[in-house]
Amino acid sequence: MATKKDDEEIYYNNKITIIQEARIFNESPVNPRKCRTLLTRIVYLLYTGETFATHEATSLFFGTTKLFQHKDPALRQAVYLAIKELSSAAEDVIMVTSSIMKDMQGNMDLIYRPNAIRALCRIIDPSMLQGVERFFKAAIVDKNTAISSAALVSSYHFFPVSKEVIKRWANEVQESVQVKPAQSPFIGSVGGPLNLSSAGGYLGFGSSAPAPPSNPTIPSTSNITQYHALGLLYAIRQQDRMAVTKMIQQLAGGRSGAGSALKNPMALCMLIRYASKVMDEDPNVQKQMFDLLEGWLRHKSDMVNYEAARAICEMRNVTPQQLTRAVAQLQLFLSSPKPTLKFAAMRTLSTLALSHPSSVASCNLDMENLISDSNRSIATYAITTLLKTGNEASVDRLMKTITGFMSEISDEFKVIVVDAIRSLCLKFPNKQTLMLTFLSSVLRDEGGYDFKRSVVEAIFDMIRFIKESKEAALAHLCEFIEDCEFTKLSVRVLHLLGIEGPKAPNPTKYIRYIYNRVVLENAIVRAAAVTSLAKFGVCGVDPTIKRSVTVLLNRCLDDVDDEVRDRAALYLRIMKEEELAESFVKEDSVYSLATLESKLVAYVNDPAAQEVDFDASSVPKISRAQAQQESARPTTLESITASVVSQPKASAPAKAAPSAQETQSAYASQLAAVPEMETFGSILNSSSKPIPLTESDTEYVVTCVKHIFKEHVVFQFNVSNTVPDSLLENVSVVMQPNGEGLTEDFILPAEKLDLSTGPQPVYVSFTRENPEEYTLGGFACTLRFVSKEVDPSSGLPEDTGYDDEYQLEEVELSAGGDYIVPTYCSFESEWEKLDGAANAEEEFSLSSMASIKAACESLIEVLNMEALAGSDNPTSTAVHTLLLSGLVAGGGGKVLARCQMAFTASSGVSLRMSVRAEKEEVSQLLISAIG
């Protein structure tokens, strides 16, 4: 119940009340105390999410600007704060620029200038930045750290919208990185002695009379200006890797870091992160950067020590020898009295233990002492790290300790513990009984969805990889769904029971649990239970079980939910017809949903294609295991603790690469926007990966993507200009085919190309003279353009340029990757179906292949076909048979290849390849790809 005091506070901070009280801004003389109080209330409302209408914000904004006539420093600070917050909602804010500029003059009080600079950053337009350039340059190198920091931070905010202007300030920013001599606290702003009589006015509790202009400023000894200057300097130079490397080496101050010009610990931490990024991007400087990182391990600041140790631990391909000193430094932090240091070191060691458990094992004794730490977050990391680095003998003791404090930690850390247990199960499968007992007990505890999901995932892994635990694990999952409050988890467990249950020695014991879900759960779980139940009848061999399942499914025909009824009717029909059972339940291949979706979208958007029925046979198939991988979401640990645990760079990329289907869809959308290709129809196939035609560090970087249409072939060249102060115009690629069968249609050049535009596409289109044939061959490519120099000061290119050209690598149109896409099938059954179709057989000598394994990898890469039945992993080094399946784009149908190989040290690999396809042209296409 609201009290009288609460009601008064609501009224006091009410927007309407504040707008009415804003009349005090017009009073004469100005009352600084009342105005400051009202400005504080305005800013408070804005910070709590209150919004002002445009006319209200404009009225308050210009009412606030009237207070510039008063010289009270505390009032002036409040005025600037209110101006900054109201500027985004008010109109015509640019009119206050002249008043702010007066406070930026060098002869003004030092308390005015930093606030004026920050406010000006929010007021002026980027186009006006050149007019105040000299003020900012002077402020950046000012000896007063408050003024310098304000100018640097404002410049940093301006940089995204006015890069060229800010880049001209690089010399001033470089100068501000150096340590400024600290001013004496007993010297005023003009060099005279400190005027103590002005202190009351400065602090805001003295009289309302104007304060004298020589208010004291307390000097900063933190050198925070270096932190701000370094951030801006890196933003200016980040496109030039050599300049960034040079900057790091200059500011590092030698191998030990003792002579570094940076005195601020945060600036040093930022420099360490820049060094780590440079080392990650350029392996050639890894040795130099690593020496600097090791030197920073001996810095006097704990913050710098930790940042350097963490950077070393997250290096790509770091060796145990390189980790020695970093781990030793983190080990010292484990015995620190500061909880933050212990937590940071423990978290880094926990992450490192995933890839280098032996290096972290030297800290086991210190980590065992942290198991009983009062901070349960530290204790959680300690015990999970010990699970990763310990041996089988210590598992029992650690598991007892974990059981003791699971109830004391949050779900976030419970997920970390469960993930460590899951890894331990696979590491020590003999301890599976102990692990499963622990997981089943925590599964019965209270917890959120993410925690329960992590436990279920761990049990799933045990079922998949530890066969001895399958029976007990399935029993625990059956008990779990009896009282599961999360629908998603119930559905997942029921799906697993439908797969593993029919294979169990006694399937009937699982049927009872599944049918209980049909009776007691919601519609979603009931539908999943029906599907799971039906698999016992379809996949089971016992006729008694089939009769029992039929009776139970017939009961489901009376369910109130139509999805449940439809599934029951479908599976009753499937159980009666073996052919349907093979297609819908037992078949191991499914359509690639992403490819099916993209082809359906192209079919719907193409009126000409709709004249005939949609051809489902053109959609490649994948195995059910591949389908699960495609639809798999990030693991629980990745999704829940991404902000807590930073994965090592070597083992966890920052971002997953797009799938082949996502890439195909992106290309289709990109080409659909080109008017010249509107009549080409849908894309049959596109290159899965761009083909580099130049080195990655050359002046011009070019990659090629090939798009196959029914009657056309389009080459997309992505061209990048890496030369600074250079502009390329009318960029095109001239292609000379080595063979026949293609006629050039047109070239779509890129109009302009410079360092800031990034890769731009150039399209070259050819017509297939005979769409029924699969044209192969190479193309000689030349990049042609008009080159113009750019004036660095103005950013404008010269009026005239010169024609130039750049030779590219040859582009090849091949069978694999251009016409053939991989598809999954049951090889033996499909091979028999194609017995009377087109076939071809040829023998080859692959003398350059050093092993059968290398030959398998080469054939799969060249032909771009799916290896079936695990034949891509040969079990013998002498003889092997590789089974391949593919689908030819454009209605070519299925193609199968049986590659029989024999290896001898003298002659390499001998290959006999038998091909069966739906069309004769396809079988010859496959033979020609090898020959």
Q: What is the distance between the alpha carbons of residues 603 and 901, in angstroms, rounded to a whole number?
A: 41
Residues 474-496: pLDDT tens digits? 999 999 999 888 999 999 999 99
CA quadruple 188, 192, 196, 202: dihedral sign: negative
Query: Residue 192: its pLDDT value, please?
Result: 44
Please name the amino acid found at residue 802.
Y
For position 632, what pLDDT does the model report? Answer: 54
Non-local CB neighbours of 803 within 8 Å, separated by 6+ positions = 784, 785, 786, 787
Burial (CB count within 10 angstroms: exposed 0-12, middle 13-18, buried 19+), residue 431:
middle
Give the residue carrying structure tokens 């002869």: 107
Q: What is the pLDDT of residue 203?
A: 42
pLDDT digits (tens, 9 = 90+) for 184-239: 444 444 344 444 344 444 444 444 444 444 445 555 677 889 999 999 999 999 88
Query: CA nearest 383: which of 367, 405, 396?
Result: 367
pLDDT, one tens digit per residue, over 231-256 is: 999 999 988 888 888 899 888 876 65
pLDDT at 780 over 80: yes
Spell out the residues 6+ positions from residue 156 whose beta carbon is closer than 8 angstroms to its own. 228, 231, 232, 235
d(CA 235, CA 341): 30
Residue 699 has pLDDT above 50, yes or no: yes
Beta-carbon count within 10 A of 252 CB: 25
Q: Is 171 exposed, middle or buried (0-12, 13-18, 19+ CB in 10 A)?
A: exposed
834, two tokens: 């194609």
| Best CA proximity match to 795, nearest among 166, 1, 34 | 166
Contact 165, 129 (CB under 8 A): yes
Tokens for 836, please give them: 């009377």
pLDDT in tens, 125-171: 888 888 888 888 888 998 888 889 999 999 999 898 888 889 889 89
What SS3 state is found at 540?
coil
Cis status of the peptide bond prior to 114, with omega within 30 of 0: no
pLDDT in tens, 635-645: 443 433 333 33
- Using alpha carbons, list the distances in angstroms from residue 133 to 126, 231, 698, 792: 11, 19, 36, 17
Q: Cα angle at 168 between 166 and 171, to 5 degrees?
A: 110
Structural element, H or E, at residue 180: none
| Cα distance between residue 133 and residue 150, in whole Å | 14
Phi, psi of 886 (to 5 degrees): -150, 170
Chain centroid, CA 255 distance in Å? 34
- State how far the Cα of 632 lies from the Cα of 539, in Å rounded to an integer: 25
CA-to-CA dists, residue 46 to 21, 36, 86, 287, angstroms: 17, 15, 8, 51
pLDDT higher at 812 or 599? 812
Q: What is the pLDDT of residues 722-754, one digit of tens each?
A: 888 888 999 999 999 888 889 999 999 999 888
421 residue type, one letter: I
CA–CA gap between residue 193 and residue 185 (Å, rounded):
10
Closest CA to 899 of 823, 837, 831, 829: 831
pLDDT of residue 527: 94
Indicate whether 270 pLDDT > 90: yes
Q: What is the mean pLDDT of the chain?
A: 83
Quick check: 269 pLDDT over 90?
Answer: yes
Angle at which helix 395-405 crosses helix 376-389, to 10 degrees, equals 160
Q: Provide the 3-class DSSP secondary structure of residue 762.
A: strand
For residue 597, CA distances in Å to 219, 663, 883 come to 65, 13, 28
pLDDT of residue 657: 53
Residues 616-636 have pLDDT tens digits of 777 777 776 666 666 654 444
Given pLDDT bands bounded at 50, 70 and 90, which one contains residue 655?
very low
380-384 contacts, C-beta under 8 A, 24 or more apart: 380/405, 380/409, 380/413, 380/416, 380/417, 381/343, 381/346, 381/347, 381/349, 381/350, 381/416, 382/346, 383/417, 383/420, 384/350, 384/416, 384/417, 384/419, 384/420
pLDDT per residue as tens digits for the range 388-438:
887 777 888 888 888 777 877 888 888 888 888 888 888 888 888 888 988
Instruction: Give me the mean pLDDT over the 574-593 stretch.
Output: 79
For the chain, how far is it from start to end, CA to CA, in angstroms? 87
Q: Three-state secondary structure along 484-537? A: CCCHHHHHHHHHHHHHHHHHCCCCHHHHHHHHHHHHHCCHHHHHHHHHHHHHHH
Inter-axis angle of helices 224-237 and 241-252, nearest 10: 160
pLDDT at 211: 46
The pLDDT confidence band at residue 456, using thresholds 50, 70 and 90, is very high
pLDDT band at 108 (very low <50, low <70, confident <90, very high): low
Count how many residues are written for the chain.
931
Q: Which amino acid does the sequence have at 536? A: F
Tokens of 268: 């040093």
Mean pLDDT of 857-882: 88
**What CA–CA distance (Å, rounded) separates 141 from 650?**
41
DSSP structure class, residue 849: -
